[in-house]
Amino acid sequence: MSSFVLVHGAWHGSWCWKRVRAGLQAQGHDVFTPTLTGLADRSHLLSRAVNLETHIQDVVNLIRWEELTDIVLCGHSYGGCVISGVADRMPEHIRALVYLDAFVLEDGENQMQHLTEMQSHQFREGVKTLGEGWKVPPIPAAVFNVNVADREWVDRQCTVQPIGTMQQPLSLTGGIPKIQNVTFILATGYTAGSPFPPFYEKAKAKGWKTQTVPCGHDVMLDLPEELTTLLVEARSSSSTVRVDLAPAQRLLANVSIL
């Protein structure tokens, strides 16, 4: 059995992992799904001071105080920025690193610079008009092609996020190359302005294991059982795989968590 640490993306929280968490726990694994500071059930800690470093430290401290080793560390979307920082600092604790339709930053980069000019403009306008100059409003679930049955629920659950988390450059010191087992999973059903295909191509060039899944951006909601299987498989060997999950996706499109 293994320990899994699953890190959510922007505007989300631990809640988005509940289906995958249940699936992994049913197999006997230990599963940790921390909510990052200032979001969801920790939204009472929201402040202008919260940045990427805050969120990296959230996960570093979880691993240290839970005394976790040999872990599978997965980050979704913005969570890719977070797990890169964590993996750089404590590679000896990590058995496998999984980027789930996620940003993979190089040293000195931030998330914002990987958005299109139109996306960056929309973020800035949202912060200016709705976010008091520092809070980024959530993007509607429909934009990410979340399955229809879950969209209203996801929009209710999402909370604003401090712009500093997306603007602060990531500082890396060379720890990640010490991790031999790295996977990138691309959601091919999210095509409207997705920034993630270039990271998928870079992952292939690096020799990482690469996978594709035919669903929207929130893979943990659209295809939880299939993602659970992929996470378990990510603990081992490298390969490039395309997973044909269209029948399962059609079934899940009619199922809501509520």
Q: Which residues are catalytic?
A: 77
Bridge partners, 161 (sequence order): 136
The whole-angstrom separation of Cα 6 and Cα 30 is 11
Distance of alpha carbon 17 from its chain centroid, rounded? 10
Which two three-digit tokens encode residue 201? 């191509």
Residue 166 phi/psi, 5-degree rounding, is: -100, -15
The whole-angstrom separation of Cα 25 and Cα 114 is 35
Please name the amino acid found at residue 249: Q
Which two three-digit tokens encode residue 20? 């995958």
The whole-angstrom separation of Cα 107 and Cα 154 is 32
The whole-angstrom separation of Cα 198 and Cα 187 is 12
The whole-angstrom separation of Cα 66 and Cα 30 is 11
Nearest to 115 by CA among 161, 82, 77: 77
Instruction: Indicate the SS3 state at residue 166.
Output: helix
Please, how many CA atoms are within 13 Å of residue 50, restricted to the half-sphere of its CB? 21
Bridge partners, 242 (sequence order): 212
